[in-house]
Chains A and B, each alone.
Chain A
Amino acid sequence: MTKNIKKVAVIGAGAMGSGIAAQAANAGYEVVLLDLYPDSPQKAIDKMLKAKPGPDAGFMDAKNAKRITTGGTEHDMEKIADADLIIEAVFEDLDVKQTTFKNIYKHAKADAIIASNTSTIQIEQLTDGMPDDFKARFMNTHFFNPPRFMSLLELIDGPQTDPAQFKLMQDIADVGFGKKVIRCKDTPGFIANRIGGYAIFRAITEGTKQNMKIEDIDSIMSPAFGFTNMGLMKLSDFVGIDIMAHVGTNLENGLAADDHFHAIYEPALVKQLVDNKQLGNKTGGGFYRPKLDDDGNKVKGDNGRPLKEVIDLSTGEYRDAGNSKYFKKNFKKDAGSYAKFFDKPSEASDFAWPVLRDVIVYVMNNAEQMAYDVQSIDEAMQAGYNWKWGPFQLVDEFGVEWFTERLKKDGIVVPDLLQKANGRAFYREHEGTKQVLDFAGEYSAFKREDGVMKLEDIKRSKKRIIGNDSASLWDLGDGVIGVEFHTVKGANAIDPAVFEVLNDSIKLINESGGKYKAMVIYNEGNHFSVGANLGLIDVFSKAADIVPFGFLRNKAQAKLANFVDDLVYTGQAVYKALREAPFPVIGAPNGMALGGGCEVLLHCDSIQSGPEVYTGLVEAGVGIIPGWGGCARHLERSQDAAKMNGPMQALSNSVLAIAQPMQAMSTSGQNARSKLWFNKDAGVSMNKDRVLADAKARALSMVDGYQPPVEPVYHLPGLSGQASINMQVDAMYLYGGDPKVAAVNHVDVGVMSCLGNALSGGDYVTRDQVDSHIAGDSAAYKALIDERADGRIEVNNALPLTEARILQLERDNFMTLFNRKSTRDRMAYMVAKNKPLREAYPEDRPSPAQIRDEIERKTAKQRSPDGNPLSGEEETRLKSMSKLSLRTMWGLKKLGLI
């Protein structure tokens, strides 16, 4: 949060205005939201609060809504008197806006920044007739919808805008609102909508000309060229056809007569859709729509999925949608290079080439008109349209020299910028830094906002300290070490090779003689980590299953079980060493941090989170329970947070969080803090590009006087607690319903029974467990056990249990569940389909007691990690496990299986 300002006012409570207000509240500002209709702001807030996680959920945490006060523009304008920033988001009409500005000017304090969220009107028109001191504080802040999730903010200054005010707004938008701020020139459509609009209309025009199927257009204009999974047309349905039409009209009316947009703009189809109120997903149909029967019900196909219809470009009418033959095609890989793909005529290349070519040429010819440099054009398309590559990066992918020659061959005038590039790539790495061509054709440094720190840059300029294919260690400067996960496809699944790097890192810091003093765990993949590498376990599991001959197969299964036991133990030991290391460890997640990824974070001293973080212990979905200390850590947090005496509140909290992961998962970084996934003083950076720098600062702030956390003592109810948990689980199971929707089916009953066992402290403590499992006078407990005929004491909340006890129970129950076919099936399904298996009930539904009776209890080896990094025999085993997993992953990659 930028300290300079405290209060933000937003005028206009439509989708944009209310979304901007919510994001301001997310940023921690005091917010006032006014509308012509005084009830509208509160209605908009309530709607955002009620929305399911997704685009309409404007608030990162429900409590942020309390920062907003509401009112009407007629009677409540005095509420903006102390606002430091006032954003206008009223109807896109010059008169309405000018009236609003006069009203704002009358009530705002003299140094308030005043901004418009217009997407169509230029500053000179907006401020016409306003006094100079208004013009000096005025600028355009063009947010993208939805303001919480779209990271782009186009910021436009007018001829009289005060540079100091502009700089302040840049900071507010970047650090406060968390946006990627791109300064644009004041031209129609600014950067992103001008290029995005051109691209969509160019594709429609070419598609119509070539009579392409829309399904094929979406499968070609897809990740194959850096566009989103949805493809261009489906994305339009998502954004709204009316928004697209609005972008088109704005460009048509605003751009100069000789602008190439006019040559490719054929709006008839889009206008037809708008006239028919087919505005995309929000109205139940746009380019695509669900197929309905005569009664208006959705028709489902053989696979149970709803069927779709799609506009036929030749007729403008809907027809049945089919699968595209280009679905998930990788044209570059199949042809050898983009150049080869484009140079060989085919339906796909004949369509893709003219569209992409014209987009790139259009951007190059107009770049200086709309932008201050090449970099900001590419970044605007990445942040505003989620393109993987901006137009200049795309040319680099194609090959600048080839592209230039191909233009010549096509008889197209080579743009000035391309001539200046003279065959050189627009981006290059030079002496450890990234550079980009400027408009003059010279390389200059790739710009980062002040204070932004990217691992990408560090990796370019420094050698990694240690690492393997799964994880690496980087020097972040000032004595802070960065651990990066980088396993397959940016998902960063955790495997033994990750553990090896973590273990080595702890040792390295410990042995560095003070050179290194803190650790940050961070990466720039799509997700912090999606959890344990199930693919690896699945491969081993299948390999053991196909062993011929019963005797050998049994041996293979025993070996597998042994491997899994070691894997679970090793994870616990490494995470525990991380937690108890004599230096601060900061987890710095962006995106998903699930299962084992969440468990890493639970062991960190503190968290510096990105804005959008989805975290939780989701293991139950694949039929297991958290095994890398997740149960122990969550129980500890629940115990600390419990408001009541007695063991059940903490236990119930942890059971609910782990047994119902979809409900318990966080919906943002702030929300993860509210839901106990993060420590209560965890930091959240609103801008994900600032997470690393903030995490490093947090780590350094904890170095002086750092004390590692001490092990908690657990008071858990044992068998009675399990009976109580089972009672609640049984009620859910007996409720029945559709297992695809319902929370609990017969497999879940088994999983939750094991979860209950682990979280309740288990059943009994035996004599040989006393030393490591009971946090009390060992001799006294042993003496008591010696008096007992059955040689054990029952667990209840009077018994102080150690963390080692919980870790042993995690492993015991993990092994029990891993031994079950239902668990292997769930894992295999997740690996194959990337979604959880929800089993249908068996014909004869077993009673919960029957289900529990059938569980064959397994135990893991009795051992307890000591909080030190692994050494000796344990370290040797870790290294061989790491080697095996690296070799296997390498093999799977070679085979094209991942």
Chain B
Amino acid sequence: MTNRAVIIDYARSAFAKASTPKKPGRLSDVDPLDLIVPVINTLVERTNIDVKDVKKILMGNVHQEAQQGLNIARMAVLHEECKLDNNVTGGTSIDRFCGSSLEAIAMADAFLARDPDDVYICAGVQSMSIVPMSGLNPLINAHVQGGNAAGFMNMGVTAENLAEKYEITRLEQDTFAVESNKKTTAAHEKGHFKNEIVPIKGVDYDDGARADSSVETLAKLRTAFKSVDDGGTVTAGNASQVTDGASAVMVTSESFAAANNLPVKAIILGYGEASLAPEIMGLGPVDASKEALKRAGLTMADIDIVELNEAFAAQSIAVMKEFEKQGHKIDPAKVNLDGGAIAMGHPLGASGARIVGHLSEVLQRENKRYGLATMCIGGGQGVAMVIENPAAAPKPSV
């Protein structure tokens, strides 16, 4: 049997709404390194790992400039409070937009296939307060911009495109958003995030999630990307929130985990990716998931829990409609049990590790076996990962 990559532990900061011109975000004054280092330290302490075994931090981060520049992954190791050994652990920063830190886990998976005795910290961090969306100096090569500039760059317009294509109404989107908020606030109440959130500056909850969210209040919001006259439906209320946050997953091989008595949260079964037209980038999860399932040797019917990154309500609904169209209907009851990015936010670089890490938590909590984590990526891509909860697998018969 192959020596597969496994997830040992997962932690994150709370996701806090980023600053607006009127209101400071609760974590907006925290430098991105000061956000991620305590999260990494928590993994090191909790697993009691020997830091001599930690080969590398693979860090997802989008817009690698200013405080996020200079190869932030290595900077994290050099941080005076970091528990890792800078003579041992290296750092690689990864930018695949929203998919960055999911990609980090996939890279660890690939490295481990060659050298199974290493440990990787697959992390992600984003201060959207300090380095705004598109960066401090948003510049685009004119030849890349080409004919579909808006489809490429403006995510909101891509969501409007999907709403139009799949005839998704404003009400459907707002209802989806209200559900997400209710699920996240309920999960907080039940303490579902207690194990994963590392309080930073006293912030231990995702402050974007609103228990009082309602279809009526969301209906009052102005459309953000297309006027109502022109059929616009996407608002700040049914889109993912702009937030600051960090997340990290510890990954190693089955053999290393066994040899070091590290309990395994989840086994990585398959990774998939997709490329498609930028203006419908939101559908990225469809082909990416199909590829991940195929590599895992499973079908959608086998999946017990899905973490589908909620970039936009319209985009999430479109993905589910497309799956249904292709005969792989997903039961909505299996999707995002604790809500998603619409409620808790989407700190670009940190979201991938969050959905995979949290999926491993949910599988254990619900005692389910197979989980799928997937997300769309600006520019027309999708990534997906299938994992298995070993505790829920049938005991091998002798």
0 or 1 for each of B223-245: is its CB under 8 Å from A? (1 = yes): 00111011010000000000000
Nearest neighbor of B142 in chain A, beta-carbon distance = A719
Q: Is B92 an interface residue (CB 8 A)?
A: no
A726-B145, A848-B150 as given contacts; A734 in contact with B139, CB under 8 Å? no
Interfacial chain A residues near B145, Cβ < 8 Å? 723, 726-727
Contact residues, A733-756 vs B (CB, 8 A): 734-738, 742
B140 contacts which of A646, A723, A737, A849 (Cβ < 8 Å)?
Answer: A723
Chain A count of residues within 8 A CB distance of the other chain:
25
Q: Is A724 an interface residue (CB 8 A)?
A: yes
Known contacts A727-B149, A849-B149; A717/B139 CB under 8 A: yes
Partner of B150 from the list A646, A722, A724, A730 (CB cut-off 8 Å) is A730
Establish whether residues A719 and B136, one from each chain, have CB atoms under 8 Å apart when the complex forms: no
CB of B396 closer than 8 Å to a CB of A: no
B154 interface residue (CB < 8 Å to A): yes
Q: Kindly identify, within residues 126 to 150 of chain B, every residue whose CB is under 8 Å from any CB belonging to chain A.
A: 136-142, 144-150
Check B154–A730 contact: CB distance below 8 A: yes
In the assembly, what is the distance between CA of A498 and CA of B154, in Å?
46
Q: Which A residues, 516 to 568, have Cβ-Cβ distances below 8 Å to chain B? A: none
A734, B142: Cβ atoms closer than 8 Å: no
**Complex CA–CA separation, A722 to B142 (angstroms):** 7
- Tell whether, in the assembled complex, residue B154 and residue A727 are in contact, meaning their CB atoms are under 8 Å apart: yes
Q: Is the interface of A mostly helix, strand, loop or mixed?
A: helix
- Residues in B whose Cβ lies below 8 Å from that of A647: 137, 139
User: Is there an interface contact between A849 and B146, defined as CB atoms closer than 8 Å?
Assistant: yes
A734 contacts B157, C-beta separation under 8 Å: yes
Q: Please give, as numbers and ranges, the residues of chain A lying within 8 Å of B136 by CB-CB distance.
A: 644, 646, 648-649
* Segment 833-852 of A: residues with Cβ below 8 Å from B: 847-849
Instruction: Report the separation of the CA atoms of residues A742 and B150 in the bound assembly, to the nearest whole angstrom.
Output: 18
Residues A742 and B227 in contact in the complex (CB < 8 Å), given A720-B142, A734-B157: yes
**Chain A proximity of B146: nearest CB distance (Å):** 7
B168 located at the interface, meaning its Cβ lies under 8 Å from any Cβ of chain A in the complex: no
* Docked complex: A634-654 residues within 8 A CB-CB of B: 644, 646-649
**Known interface pairs A727-B145, A742-B227. Does A648 touch B150 (Cβ–Cβ under 8 Å)?**
no
Point out the residues of chain A lying under 8 angstroms from B150, CB to CB.
727, 730-731, 734, 848
Looking at the assembled complex, report how far the CB atom of A857 sits from the nearest CB atom of chain B, in whole angstroms. 14
CA gap between A848 and B156 in the complex, in Å = 17
Q: Mark A707-735, 1 if CB is under 8 A from B, else 0.
A: 00000000001011111101100110011
Question: Are A736 and B226 in touch, CB under 8 angstroms?
Answer: yes
- Bound form: Cα–Cα A32–B137 in Å: 44
Taking the closest CB of chain B, its distance from the CB of A766, in whole angstroms, is 18
Give the distance in Å from the alpha carbon of A848 to the alpha carbon of B226 in the complex: 15
Q: Is the CB of A649 within 8 A of B140?
A: no
Please report the C-alpha to C-alpha distance between residue A731 and residue B153 in the assembled complex, in whole angstroms.
9
Name the CB-closest residue of A to B153.
Answer: A727
How far in angstroms is the closest Cβ of chain A from B63? 12
CB-contacts of A644-673 with B (<8 A): 644, 646-649
Q: Give the complex CA separation of A646 and B131 in angstroms.
A: 13
List the B side residues contacting A720 at CB < 8 Å.
139-142
Residues of A with C-beta under 8 A to B227: 735-738, 742
| With A736-B232, A737-B227 as contacts: A724 and B140 at CB distance below 8 Å | yes
Residue of chain B at shortest CB distance from A794: B142
* CA A875 to CA B150, docked complex, whole Å: 48
Interface contact B137-A734, CB-CB below 8 Å: no
- When C-beta atoms are compared, the residue in chain B nearest to A849 turns out to be B147
CB closest chain-B residue, reference A717 = B139
Question: Assuming A731-B225, A734-B226, is B153 touching A649 (CB within 8 A)?
Answer: no
Q: In whole angstroms, how far apart are the Cα atoms of A742 and B153 in the complex?
A: 21
State whether A723 and B142 are in contact (beta carbons under 8 Å apart), knowing that A734-B226, A737-B230 are contacts in the complex: yes
Q: Kindly state the separation between the CA atoms of A721 and B146 in the bound complex, as whole angstroms.
A: 14
CB distance from B303 to the nearest CB of A (A): 36
A849→B137 CA distance, assembly (Å): 22
**A721 → B minimal CB distance (Å):** 6
Bound: A730/B146 CA distance, A = 13
Q: A757 CB to closest chain B CB, in angstroms?
A: 11
Q: Residues 82-105 of chain B: 1 if any A CB is under 8 Å from the residue's CB, otherwise 0?
A: 000000000000000000000000
Which chain B residues in 257-272 approach chain A with CB under 8 Å? none
Q: Once the chains bind, are B230 and A736 in contact (CB under 8 Å)?
A: yes
A interface footprint on B1-21 (CB within 8 Å = 1, 0 otherwise)? 000000000000000000000
Specify which chain B residues have a CB less than 8 angstroms from the CB of A648 in the assembled complex. Answer: 136-139
Q: In whole angstroms, what is the CA distance A644 to B136 when docked?
A: 8
| Pair A724/B230 contact, Cβ less than 8 Å | no
With both beta carbons as reference points, the residue of chain A lying nearest to B148 in the complex is identified as A849
CB closest residue in chain A, given B65: A646
Residues of B within 8 A of A721 (CB): 139
A730 and B149 contact, CB distance less than 8 A: yes
Given contacts A644-B136, A736-B232, A737-B227, contact A848 B149 (CB under 8 A): yes
Q: How far is the CB of B163 from chain A (nearest CB, A)?
A: 14
Least Cβ distance of A641 to chain B in Å?
A: 16
A731 and B157: CB pair below 8 A? yes
Contacts of A742 on B, CB cut-off 8 Å?
227
Q: Which residues of B contact A848 (CB under 8 A)?
A: 149-150
Complex: A647 Cα to B138 Cα, angstroms: 9
Residues from 841 to 871 in A contacting B, C-beta threshold 8 Å: 847-849
Q: Which B-chain residue is minimally distant from A644 (CB atoms)? A: B136
Taking CB atoms, residues of chain A closer than 8 Å to B138 are 648, 724, 727
Contacts of A649 in B (CB 8 A): 136-137
Q: Are B139 and A724 in contact (CB under 8 A)?
A: yes
- The residues of A that contact B148 with a CB separation of less than 8 Å are 849
Contact B225 A735 (CB under 8 A): yes
**Least distance between A552 CB and chain B CB atoms (Å):** 40
CA A723 to CA B144, docked complex, whole Å:
9
How far does the alpha carbon of A736 sit from the alpha carbon of B234 in the complex, in Å? 14
A741 to chain B, nearest CB (A): 9
Chain B residues near A723 (CB-CB < 8 A): 139-142, 144-145, 149
User: How many angstroms from the CA of A387 to the CA of B140 in the assembled complex?
Assistant: 57
A723 to B145, CA, bound (A): 7
CB proximity of B370 to chain A, nearest CB, Å: 40
CA–CA, A721 to B144, complex, Å? Answer: 13
* Given A731-B225, A736-B230, CB of A726 within 8 Å of CB of B149: yes
A726 proximity list for chain B (CB < 8 A)? 145, 149
User: What is the distance, in angstroms, from B175's C-beta to the closest C-beta of chain A?
Assistant: 24
Contact call A735/B139, Cβ cutoff below 8 A: no
- Cβ distance A646 to chain B, nearest Cβ, rounded Å: 4
B124 to chain A, nearest CB (A): 24
Distance in Å from the Cβ of B341 to the closest Cβ of chain A?
21
Minimum CB–CB distance from A584 to chain B (whole Å) comes to 36
Q: Which chain A residues in 566-610 approach chain B with CB under 8 Å?
A: none
Closest to B157 in A: A734
* Smallest CB separation, B134 vs chain A (Å): 8
Identify which of B137, B147, B149, B226 contacts A735 (C-beta below 8 A).
Answer: B226
From residue A366, how far is it (CB to closest CB) to chain B in Å?
55
Instruction: Using CB atoms, name the residue of chain A closest to B135.
Output: A648
Tell me the bound Cα distance from A728 to B95 in angstroms: 22
Given A742-B227, A849-B146, A849-B148, also A734-B154 (CB < 8 A): yes
Contact A738 B142 (CB under 8 A): no
Contacts of A735 in B (CB 8 A): 225-227, 230, 232
Could you give 18 example pairs across A and B, Cβ below 8 Å?
A644-B136, A644-B137, A647-B139, A648-B137, A720-B140, A723-B149, A724-B138, A727-B150, A727-B154, A730-B149, A730-B154, A734-B150, A734-B154, A734-B157, A735-B225, A735-B227, A737-B230, A742-B227
Residue positions of A touching B, CB distance < 8 A: 644, 646-649, 717, 719-724, 726-727, 730-731, 734-738, 742, 847-849
Q: What are the 10 A-B residue pairs with the smallest beta carbon separation, nearest first?
A: A737-B227, A736-B230, A646-B137, A719-B142, A720-B139, A648-B137, A723-B140, A723-B145, A730-B150, A723-B142
Given contacts A648-B139, A738-B229, 17 further A-B contacts (CB under 8 A): A646-B136, A649-B136, A719-B141, A719-B142, A723-B139, A723-B141, A723-B145, A727-B145, A731-B150, A731-B225, A735-B227, A736-B229, A736-B232, A737-B227, A848-B149, A848-B150, A849-B148
